[in-house]
Structures are given as C-alpha cells and as structure tokens.
Amino acid sequence: MFDRPTLAHALIPALPLLLSLTAALPAAATPAENDAAMLKLATDRGCMSCHSIEPRPKRADGLPPIAPAWREVAQKYRDDPQAYKKLTDTVITGADPQARHWSGKVGVVTMPPNATAISPADARMLVNWILVLVP
C-alpha cells in the first residue's frame, strides 16, 4: 500500500531546521550590495563631492565638471594592468598639478591628497571598484 519513504520524504521534517541553518550563514554580498557599500565608502570619504559615477553634462554655468566621472576613469585605464597601483597612489597623494591627466576635460583645480580622508587599503578597494565601472 505505502510507498517506501524516499529521501525527499525523510528530509521534509528537517526542512525548517535546514532553512534556519542556511539563513544563519553569512551571505556573500551580491554585486548590488557591493556597489552600495562602495558608493557609501566613497560618499563617507568625500570623493563624491567632486566625482560622479556617470558622466555629467556641462554645469549650468557652462563650466566643465570638477572631476572625471568614474566610468570615464574606468574607460581611460581599461587596458592598463598597472592602473590600480598608480591610481591608488594618486588618490592618496593627490594628482600632480604639473602633469594633469584630465586637463581640458575637468576644471582647473586638481585633486588634493586624500591621505587624511581614506586609508591606503580602502583607497585600493575603491580604485579596484572604479576600474570595473566600464560603461
């Protein structure tokens, strides 16, 4: 009359326990969660007062943007395997006013050092994130 219990039948009573165990495991961040965490870091460290992620149209006063959009940065350095190192240094020490990388495209004030605002480890993490924001 009765079917022999299958593995599925045997596991059904244990389902609530199995589900609660899965819920208790620390979930790996999804790409969206990672984006949100990186954007929060950049905002908290003051980067977003000059930078944007998406390129911005000219400002209302006709002046160029203050700083390059990070999708433009990702595009400019997409074929440079050393970019993450160079750009981390630039973020920490500031952009060289004698050798601007974005002159003509952004305003005349260059990037000041950010060493007091962000640790080198966090700067590297942000730069690695910026570099994959290729449009």
For 99-118, b/e burial (b = at least 16 CB within 10 A) is eebbeeebeeebbeebeeeb
DSSP 45: T
Nearer to ligand HEC, 19 or 109 (CB): 109
- Can you say how many angstroms the Cα of residue 57 is from the centroid of all Cα atoms in its chain? 22
Contact string 61-100 vs ligand HEC (x = CB under 6 A): -----xxx----x-------------x--xx---x----x
**Distance in angstroms between the alpha carbons of the first and the last residue of the chain:** 63
Q: Which of 35, 52, 64, 101 binds ligand HEC (CB under 6 A)?
A: 101
Residues that bind ligand HEC (CB under 6 A): 45-47, 49-51, 66-68, 73, 87, 90-91, 95, 100-103, 106, 110-112, 114, 117-118, 126-127, 130
